[in-house]
Structure 1
Amino acid sequence: METSSSLLHSGLQVFAVLQWVFSFLGLAQVCLMALLLVVLGQAWILVVLYLAWLYTDRDTPRSGGRRSAWFRNWAVWRHFRDYFPITLVKTAELDPSRNYLFGFHPHGVLAVGAFANFCTEATGFSSLFPGLRPHLLMLPCWFQIPFFRDYIMTCGLVSSDKASAAHLLSRPGGGQVAVLAVGGPLEALEAKPGALSLRIRNQKGFIKLALEHGASLVPVFSFGENDLFQQFPNPPGSWVRRAQEALQPLLRVALPLFYGRGGLLLPFRAPVRTVVGAAIPVQRCPRPSRAQVDELHAVYVERLTQLFEEHKACYGVPADQHLVLI
């Protein structure tokens, strides 16, 4: 029988996860509605002032953002971590005098592991990797939404456009980490329990970026990321998948039809173990050739596959299961 203390902890964990899910599925719409209500309430002068400030601040999401150590250390993120639970695993030392491009795999439905490990301190990123400052790259469209863009920047989210990543990777003195979910929005459509499909064969823009700035590449595999939600059947070629793929370029986001516990949006309680691999040194080449990009891409895929194979037995993946690269 559960004690009142365990019930309280369980309740706090559920609350922490639900508020996060709401933040990324509903808060943007609430922010837009709030802006409209302020205008209709004849407080339009406040809106004008905010929009004027927003114009002067328009480049911040592409210039390292505006993170808050206080926000990243909120107690609510520890309850968020414990719900699943989520663990960050370090496999090698990373030199804080260098800049890094972390390739996060798989994307999952909502990139839960990426947020917990790189946008909060709940799993101890700064303790494991002292001197490094992580920034999770997010689609630029989210930074166009008033108020919402200010909220998401507090945890270290920045725009995923090339200028934003280039700003981080070119910073003198090192210590900057750009974290990119390499598979992008379309990989979210593959995110189902047990799935090991990664969209990476034609994903080479991040490789070129690393070469242009001499940023070390680090493969990251998040075991359990795809086990947090189930999706409505959408096999390749089905009308559901065709509709999702057709809408993605228009909306800039994927539309996975997913559900969790009880058919709702609460994720399943499944452990997430995010394993950070060793760095792949990259020699700076301002104008890399296609051959150089292909060569480094092949090395990256090999290291990512090796990272997965070396750790899969520890995290419940059967020996006969391997990554499916698409």
Structure 2
Amino acid sequence: MFNIVVFKAILVAYTSVLRGTGSVILSALLSVRWAWCPRLEKQVQVFSVMQSIVSFLIMGPICSVVMLYLLWTDLWCVTASCTIWLFYDWNTQTRAGRRVSCVRNWTAWTYYRDNDCIRLIKTHNLLPNRNYILGYHPHGIGALSLSPTESNGFSAKFPGITPFVATLAGNFHMPLAREYLVSAGVCPVNRATLEFILSCNGTGNAVIISVGGAAESRYCTLGVHCMTLKNRKGFVKLALSNRADLVPVYSFGENDVYKQLILNEGSWWRLIQRRLQKILGFAPCVFQGRGLFSPDTWGLVPFSKPINSVVGKPMEKPKISSPSQELNHYHAMYMSSLTQLFDKHKTHFELREEDVLVIH
């Protein structure tokens, strides 16, 4: 009975954390070494990861369905109000968003970080009087270490720099989910938004883009280091036209936290996957993680393996309004810089000297 009471107390504390009010309670509970429950802290970490996954994947569609249902009930005014607000506030996400400090500093994000042992490693300073585009590699299944929150200590390591994590614009078309993303510091990955942040929002801005995107996630599997980059030059053009410095970022271990079924090139399944990618904007993947309560069962929770995100050296460049030949030059420089970053740090994170970065 005592165990049940304490477990209920843990759940109440965790719920308070999600609301931004229970960090003190949960920290006090987790500071006690329960002899009868040595895996308590680990379970809270797993819950934190799961709430993040559910929020990103399911919250938007569920809220949209609920709003449609309410439209045919006596509570239709709720749907009407949310729709009016959505149109009235439409430009917020394209104008550097509306950050909420308590959301970005939730204690839940700290447990999310600790579950996957996510670390942000700084190699060079980022100056507050410059703007930056951080190219994040690889995308993996969910770009788990690509977090807009302060769990990885970004602001402490790069003082004066405001990070913006860019994601699919379609995520901002769903009620409530949009507010969640905007408050965390996420922005749409479209030219209008990124140009505003880099040219009309002062200095000290860092836009984080997963350059390989959905196409790169198809190659995500243990021990594989494949990048989709050779024909991705839009981010370089964006940097040149707005005089933003390019910064390569490589996350060692990002591809190791899920097991994915890699579809053979030329097969019907691969063709279907590519077709769905063009329609949906992301590549549906067949993958598995661990279960919510046991690492020996299947589920959506990523396996607890370390992810080390290494931030490379900024590439300074002049402003070129209409780059042409310069585009290929700086794109080649970026690929070379990313390869050097990978080769320099790979042996520090349990990779072999003969492991190479493959760029498609």
Q: TM-score, normalised by structure 1?
A: 0.96
Q: Whole-Å Cα distance in 1 between the matches of residues 215 and 128 of structure 2?
A: 32
Matching residue's letter, 1:144? H
Match of 1:286 in 2: 321
* Distance in 1 (alpha carbons) for counterparts of 2:266 and 2:197: 39
State the match for 1:237 in structure 2: 266
Aligned to 2:338: 304
| Counterpart residue number, 1:258 | 287
Decide whether aligned partners of structure 1 residues 235 and 3 sit closer, same or farther in structure 2, where only a CA change above 3 A counts.
farther
- Tell me how far 1:239 sits from its aligned partner: 2.2
The answer for unaligned runs of 5 or more in structure 2 is 1-32, 291-296
Q: Distance in 2 between matches of 1:128 and 1:39?
A: 47
For 2:208 and 2:217, how far apart are their aligned partners in 1?
A: 17
Match of 1:136 in 2: 165
1:3 CA displacement:
3.7
Look up the match of 1:121.
150
Give 1:269's aligned residue. 304
Instruction: Evaluate the alpha carbon distance shift between residue 5 and residue 133 of structure 1 in structure 2; reply closer, same or farther with a 3 A threshold.
Output: farther
User: Could you list the per-position Cα deviations for residues 232-289 of structure 1 after superposition, in whole angstroms to 9, with x for gaps in the alignment?
Assistant: 2313222222111111111112111111122211111110000001100021111111
Instruction: Give the secondary structure class of the aligned counterpart of 1:217.
Output: strand
Structure 1 SS opposite 2:231:
coil
Aligned to 2:119: 87
Where 1:13 maps in the other structure, the secondary structure is helix
* Correspondence for 1:317: 351
1:39 Cα deviation (Å)?
Answer: 1.9
For residues 247 and 142 of structure 1, the distance between their equivalents in structure 2, rounded to whole angstroms, comes to 17
Aligned residue runs from structure 1 range 142-153, under 5 A: 142-153=171-182
Matches within 5 A, 1:189-228: 189-228=218-257
Q: Where has structure 1 moved over 6 Å in runs of 4 or more?
A: none
Q: What is the identity, as a one-letter code, of the residue corresponding to 1:258?
A: F
* Structure having the higher Rg: 2
2:219·2:262 contact (CA, 8 Å) conserved in 1? Answer: no
Matched, 1:37 2:72: no
Q: In structure 1, what is the equivalent of residue 57 of structure 2?
A: 25
Tell me the distance in 1 between the aligned counterparts of 2:106 and 2:225.
32
- In 1, distance between residues paired with 2:42 and 2:201? 44
Structure 2 counterpart of 1:55: 87
Counterpart-to-counterpart distance in 1, 2:205 and 2:63: 30
Answer whether contact 2:96 2:201 (CA < 8 A) is retained: no
Equivalent position amino acid for 2:114 in 1: D
The more displaced of 240-249 and 193-202 is 240-249
Equivalent-residue separation in structure 1 for 2:36 and 2:181 (angstroms): 34
In the alignment, what sits opposite 1:73?
105
The Cα of 1:98 is off from its aligned counterpart by 0.6
The secondary structure found in structure 2 opposite 1:60 is coil
Residue 107 of structure 1: how far off its partner (Å):
0.5
The residue that corresponds to 2:46 in the other structure is 14
Matched, 1:165 2:199: no
Distance in 1 (alpha carbons) for counterparts of 2:90 and 2:322 = 29
Identity of aligned residues (%): 37
AA matched with 2:131? N
Distance in 2 separating the partners of 1:229 and 1:241: 19
Superposition deviation, residue 26 in structure 1: 1.3
- Return the alpha-carbon distance in structure 2 between the equivalents of residues 267 and 128 of structure 1: 26
Displacement of 1:77: 0.5
Structure 2 Cα separation of the partners of residues 243 and 206 of structure 1:
28
